[in-house]
């Protein structure tokens, strides 16, 4: 029953065209102490499009429109933009947005049960990635928790809730229009 | 609305001296927030964690969705830059190393003072004070720092958002939480 957690994750990802829900994101330092907590809504249209809309503690928006990755920070009044492939280093977006299928992007192995979830550990196939491993917690409805462990031992933990899968999604969600009066910075900005 | 009576310059200067003296006595602090840095088309957005203590500073930048972390350590000997893949670089001149590695010449030794609302000691500075005698604008070392709000953290009043511009480069910091008195 262990091994099929990997198969279940692969099937769930393959069968996911769109995803919408709420997320909570917590950054834990190398000693496991909470550094930062944020929350908002996430929408994903595979392949290659996603939108992380942060409302707590501050307004931020991360949009992948299929070609470029936009970061908007309201307090900093700035938008940074970069080509999507260069920016997709971070695993959550790569795994969820379908830029790489599970098998060719990661080495996957089942990692037992805890917190009522079946866990899968994913290690990046190409060493250039900037994270050590990704741990994915599968519940009845699919991915509920994702923990990204980086080279310093920091953990970025995502918890998803109220997830709706394969529902119609407004494609406009994945087009980014810089708000008026905000600086846009980045190679692709012109 | 009824406009506030102007605060005479002498009163602002007095308030500034008291404010600056209290800040100078703050030997250790930790800040958590967000930062963007950009220079001629290259940009960086990161979650920012900065630990300052008597021995020096440890700054950790983490990519917005996790992964991609960078650690900058500053002490009397200079700067050490450690990437999350373990790669490490060391230099005496922090700004030059950061320019080479991040593409943005972040004046981190000066930023360590600007971020708490002080000019870097020992370097000429021109300052503009707000009504409470705190920095509104600071010109130092070819950079201009603009303070866009303060907040109380314990007995200290510390910046919430600051924009620093130096020639082509710019660094913007939004602080989510100050922990004065805690180095790490």
Instruction: State the pLDDT at residue A1.
Output: 52
Number of neighbours of residue A89 by Cβ within 10 angstroms = 17
Query: Contact A74/A55 with Cβ under 8 angstroms?
Result: no
Give yes or no for residue A134 having a pLDDT over 70. yes
Give the residue from chain B lying closest to A39, CA to CA. Answer: B65
Give the residue from chain B lying closest to A70, CA to CA. Answer: B45
Q: In angstroms, rounded to a whole number, what is the distance separating the alpha carbons of residues A8 and A169?
A: 24
- Both tokens of residue A152? 């310093």
Produce one character per residue of A8-44: b if its CB has 16 or more CB atoms within 10 Å, e if not: ebbebbeebebbbbebebbbbbeeeeebbebebebbb
Give yes or no for residue A185 having a pLDDT over 90. no
Give the residue from chain B lying closest to A75, CA to CA. Answer: B174
Q: In angstroms, rounded to a whole number, what is the distance separating the alpha carbons of residues A152 and B181?
A: 24
Q: Do B63 and A71 touch (CB under 8 A)?
A: no
Query: Contact A158/A24 with Cβ under 8 angstroms?
Result: yes
Task: Specify the residue for token string 């550990």.
Answer: A121
Instruction: State the pLDDT at residue A186.
Output: 78
Give yes or no for residue A86 having a pLDDT over 80. no
Q: Do B176 and A58 touch (CB under 8 A)?
A: yes
The order of strands in the sheet holding B42-53 is B88-91, B78-83, B69-75, B56-62, B42-53, B29-39, B169-180, B161-166, B143-147, B135-140, B125-129
Q: Which residue has the higher pLDDT, A3 or A57?
A: A57
* Contacts with A70 from chain B: Cβ below 8 Å: none
Task: Specify the residue for token string 């990997």.
Answer: A6
Instruction: State the pLDDT at residue A189.
Output: 47
Give the residue from chain A lying closest to B35, CA to CA. Answer: A76
Give the residue from chain B lying closest to A188, CA to CA. Answer: B41
Q: In angstroms, rounded to a whole number, what is the distance separating the alpha carbons of residues B155 and A8?
A: 54
Q: In angstroms, rounded to a whole number, what is the distance separating the alpha carbons of residues A35 and A156?
A: 10
Task: Specify the residue for token string 């958590």.
Answer: B32
Give yes or no for residue A91 having a pLDDT over 60. yes
Spatial CB neighbours of B109, under 8 Å, sequence gap ≥ 6? B74, B94, B95, B120
Q: Do A76 and B38 touch (CB under 8 A)?
A: no
Spatial CB neighbours of A140, under 8 Å, sequence gap ≥ 6? none
> Alpha helix (H) ranges present in chain A?
4-14, 84-87, 91-97, 102-105
Q: Do A80 and B43 touch (CB under 8 A)?
A: yes
Secondary structure class of B14 (helix, strand, coil)? helix
> Which band of pLDDT confidence, cut at 50, 70 and 90, is reported for residue A153?
very high
Q: What percent of chain B has pLDDT over 90?
A: 65
Of B49, B65, B84, the CB nearest to A35: B49
* Contacts with A91 from chain B: Cβ below 8 Å: 66-67
Instruction: State the pLDDT at residue B177.
Output: 96
Tens of pLDDT, residue by residue over A2-50, are 568 999 999 999 899 999 999 999 999 999 999 999 999 999 998 889 9
> Which band of pLDDT confidence, cut at 50, 70 and 90, is reported for residue B172?
very high
Q: In angstroms, rounded to a whole number, what is the distance separating the alpha carbons of residues A89 and A99?
A: 11
The answer, for B44 touching chain A at a CB cutoff of 8 Å, is: yes
Which DSSP helix (H) or strand (E) runs through B140?
strand B135-140
Tens of pLDDT, residue by residue over B83-142, are 877 789 998 888 888 888 878 888 999 999 999 999 999 999 999 999 999 999 999 999
Number of neighbours of residue B93 by Cβ within 10 angstroms = 13
Burial of B97 (0-12, 13-18, 19+ CB in 10 A): buried
**SS3 helix, strand, coil % of chain B, rounded to 5?**
15, 50, 35
Instruction: State the pLDDT at residue B125.
Output: 96
Write the CA distances from A69 to A3, A95, B77, B89, B119, integer angstroms: 35, 15, 38, 29, 36
Tens of pLDDT, residue by residue over B43-88, are 888 999 999 999 999 999 998 888 778 999 999 888 999 987 778 9
Lowest mean pLDDT among A1-15, A141-155, B109-123, B163-177: A1-15
Mean pLDDT of chain A: 88
Q: Do B85 and A148 touch (CB under 8 A)?
A: no
Q: Do B68 and A27 touch (CB under 8 A)?
A: no
Best CA proximity match to B45, nearest among B110, B103, B91: B103
Of A35, A73, A154, the CB nearest to B174: A73
Instruction: State the pLDDT at residue B112.
Output: 95
The answer, for B136 touching chain A at a CB cutoff of 8 Å, is: no
Instruction: State the pLDDT at residue A190.
Output: 42
Q: In angstroms, rounded to a whole number, what is the distance separating the alpha carbons of residues B101 and A178?
A: 28
Instruction: State the pLDDT at residue B1.
Output: 60
A1: closest CA of chain B, how far (Å): 30
Tens of pLDDT, residue by residue over B1-23, are 678 888 899 999 999 999 999 99
Residues linked to residue B174 through DSSP beta bridges, in sequence order:
B34, B161
Best CA proximity match to B97, nearest among B112, B80, B83: B80
B8: closest CA of chain A, how far (Å): 31
Instruction: State the pLDDT at residue B148.
Output: 97
Q: Do A130 and B67 touch (CB under 8 A)?
A: yes
């Amino acid at each position: 029953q262990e091994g099929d957690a990997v198969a279940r994750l692969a099937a769930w990802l393959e069968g996911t065209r769109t995803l919408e829900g709420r997320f909570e994101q917590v950054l834990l330092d190398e000693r496991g102490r909470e550094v930062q907590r944020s929350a908002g809504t996430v929408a994903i249209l595979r392949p290659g499009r996603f939108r992380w809309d942060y409302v707590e503690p501050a307004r931020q928006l991360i949009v992948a429109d299929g070609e470029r990755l936009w970061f908007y920070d309201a307090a900093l009044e700035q938008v940074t933009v970069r080509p999507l492939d260069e920016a997709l280093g971070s695993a959550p977006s790569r795994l969820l947005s379908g830029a790489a299928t599970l098998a060719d992007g990661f080495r996957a192995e089942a990692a037992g049960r805890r917190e009522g979830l079946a866990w899968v550990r994913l290690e990046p196939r190409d060493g250039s990635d900037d994270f050590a491993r990704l741990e994915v917690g599968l519940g009845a409805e699919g991915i509920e928790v994702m923990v990204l462990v980086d080279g310093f031992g920091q953990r970025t933990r995502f918890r998803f809730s109220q997830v709706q899968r394969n529902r119609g999604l407004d494609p406009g969600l994945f087009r980014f229009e810089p708000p008026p009066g905000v600086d846009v910075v980045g190679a692709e900005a012109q | 609305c009824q406009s506030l009576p102007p605060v005479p310059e002498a009163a602002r200067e007095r308030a500034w001296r008291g404010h600056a003296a209290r800040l100078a006595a703050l030997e250790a602090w930790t800040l958590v927030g967000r930062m963007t840095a950009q220079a001629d088309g290259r940009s960086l957005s990161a979650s920012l964690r900065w630990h300052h203590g008597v021995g020096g500073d440890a700054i950790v930048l983490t990519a917005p969705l996790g992964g991609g972390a960078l650690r900058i350590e500053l002490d009397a000997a200079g700067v050490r830059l450690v990437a999350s893949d373990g790669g490490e670089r060391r230099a005496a001149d922090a700004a030059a190393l950061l320019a080479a590695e991040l593409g943005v010449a972040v004046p981190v030794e000066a930023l360590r003072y600007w971020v708490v609302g002080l000019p870097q000691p020992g370097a000429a500075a021109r300052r503009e004070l707000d009504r409470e005698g705190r920095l509104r604008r600071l010109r130092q070392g070819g950079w201009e720092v603009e303070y866009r709000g303060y907040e109380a953290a314990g007995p200290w009043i510390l910046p919430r958002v600051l924009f620093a511009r130096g020639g082509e480069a710019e660094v913007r910091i939004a602080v989510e939480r100050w922990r004065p008195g805690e180095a790490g």
